[in-house]
Amino acid sequence: MDNFVEEISTKLDPGAIVRDPELIAAFTTDWTRRVSGKCDLLVRPRDHQGVLDVVQAAINHHIKLQIQGGNTSLSGGSVPLEGEVLLSLGRLCARCAVDPDTLVATVDAGVTLERLQREAMKYNLTLGVDLASRGTATLGGMAATNAGGLHVLRYGSMRSSVISLRCVWGDGTESPRSAPLIKDNSGISLTPLIVGSEGTLGVITELTLRLVPVLNSKAVAMVPFVTIADAVAFAGKVRRMTEAVSAIEMISRRAIRIVEEVKGVVFPIRETFEVAVLLEISSNAGAGDELMEILQGTLLAPQLQSTLLGIDNTSWSGLWQWRESITESIQRVGEPLKLDLSVPVSALGDLWRAVDEVQSDLAGGLDVIRFGHLGDGNIHVNLLAEEEVLDLAEVEIYRRVAELDGSITAEHGIGTLKKEFLSLVRTEWELARMRDLIAIFNPGRTLNPNVLI
């Protein structure tokens, strides 16, 4: 370790090398508080060359590195578990350049989503991907984990927004600067491969991202449904009617109750419901009228009466608050086990029933809080219980998801928390090919040795 520190201290600025345990402690527990690691050294290079120097020195001295962006991982993918040196990209954030004619931004990996949103907004542009953790999540981390978020239905996950990347690979080599080419068909592209590889192939240092125009007319409805099956049917009908849908989110009654309890607020819908669907319509003009037409064409009169409408800025952001406050509110009542399940949208009813069955089999010891991205078939199931009950519930729910041809992670990634379950949803052949790729790009597992596989 001393030789490693000696080598990097000749190359990085003094502020880039941190050994103070108190400062390091802020980086070693992940956002869920369920994963805490140990680490004696934090390195924070400011540029691509600095990252290259750190990775090459790590290879020279057989040091393992754990990469971290904003540390907003919800699957333990960003903290060092076994004393790896923490390579934080938080200071690699000088560049955030918008090219308004190409509709792209070129950014350093440590730039936060919120900062890009601010810069892009100067040209009435934004990134299609948006998340509640926008103030902390970094674009490099979002690409490495193929983050999804609130508008996947319209704009896709990060993979759809990344045009090109610059990386330092785990073998100590580097790729060239990322170019803002909208079209480039010159052979096999490594870009879609590294997106979602969770830092097991290389460190992303710079990204060129596709931007989309900000749609200035928005309208939101919160519609209560007595069953998840009714909610799924509604979502399908709406999507067959228009392309203007920018989100179809789901909040269960239990999630609403937790937000009410923690925030001291009262949900305005008093009728009995199992799920509330947040539908957002965005366009350049007349979103409110289009939303009303959609609701009139899909809902019966009593349902229409209990629907909440957000037609102006204040009222639609008020409705979004219910959805965006869930994660933080649950975190205030406990340390949930966060499942991030995905099934075909048409199988959401089966998944709901399977989770209900697991809950009743565990005889009342399990608190189940469901919310998420109904339009994408991605439901977050947060579980609160004694650890042994959580372990049983997790295994059983994942088994049921695999039976439904679903995935154990739609957007949070495998990280360190879901590694043992990866083989439930990926074949031996696929796992072997993942290992082959890691052996090519990150041969000594210098980068993220405990993540993914």
In the complex, minimum distance from the CB of residue 294 to ligand MLT, in angstroms, rounded to a whole number:
23
Nearer to ligand MLT, 167 or 255 (CB): 255
Does the footprint of ligand MLT cover residue 311 (CB under 6 A)?
no
Q: Which parts of 99-158 interact with ligand MLT (CB under 6 A)?
A: 132
Q: Which parts of 338-357 interact with ligand MLT (CB under 6 A)?
A: 338
With tokens 């899909």, the residue in question is 298
Does the footprint of ligand MLT cover residue 359 (CB under 6 A)?
no
Does the footprint of ligand MLT cover residue 262 (CB under 6 A)?
no
Q: Distance between CA atoms of 42 and 5, rounded to whole angstroms?
A: 10
In the complex, minimum distance from the CB of residue 326 to ligand MLT, in angstroms, rounded to a whole number:
6
Name the β-bridge partners of 207.
107, 165
Q: Distance between CA atoms of 316 and 405, rounded to whole angstroms?
A: 35
Nearer to ligand MLT, 75 or 164 (CB): 75
From residue 374, how far is each of 252, 261, 343, 410 by CA, in Å? 11, 24, 10, 12
Task: Give the number of residues in contact with ligand MLT, rule: CB under 6 A.
Answer: 6
Q: Distance between CA atoms of 308 and 219, rounded to whole angstroms?
A: 11
DSSP percent split of the chain into helix, strand, coil, nearest 5: 40, 20, 40
In the complex, minimum distance from the CB of residue 402 to ligand MLT, in angstroms, rounded to a whole number:
20
* Helix (H) or strand (E) run with residue 369 in it: strand 367-373
Nearer to ligand MLT, 74 or 245 (CB): 74
In the complex, minimum distance from the CB of residue 284 to ligand MLT, in angstroms, rounded to a whole number:
27
Cβ atoms of 125 and 211 closer than 8 Å: yes
Q: How many CB atoms lie within 10 A of CB 1?
A: 12
Nearer to ligand MLT, 58 or 278 (CB): 278
Q: Distance between CA atoms of 336 and 34, rounded to whole angstroms?
A: 8
Does the footprint of ligand MLT cover residue 380 (CB under 6 A)?
yes
Does the footprint of ligand MLT cover residue 327 (CB under 6 A)?
yes
In the complex, minimum distance from the CB of residue 298 to ligand MLT, in angstroms, rounded to a whole number:
24
Q: Which parts of 71-90 interact with ligand MLT (CB under 6 A)?
A: 74
Task: Write out the residues near ligand MLT by the rule CB under 6 A.
Answer: 74, 132, 327, 338, 372, 380
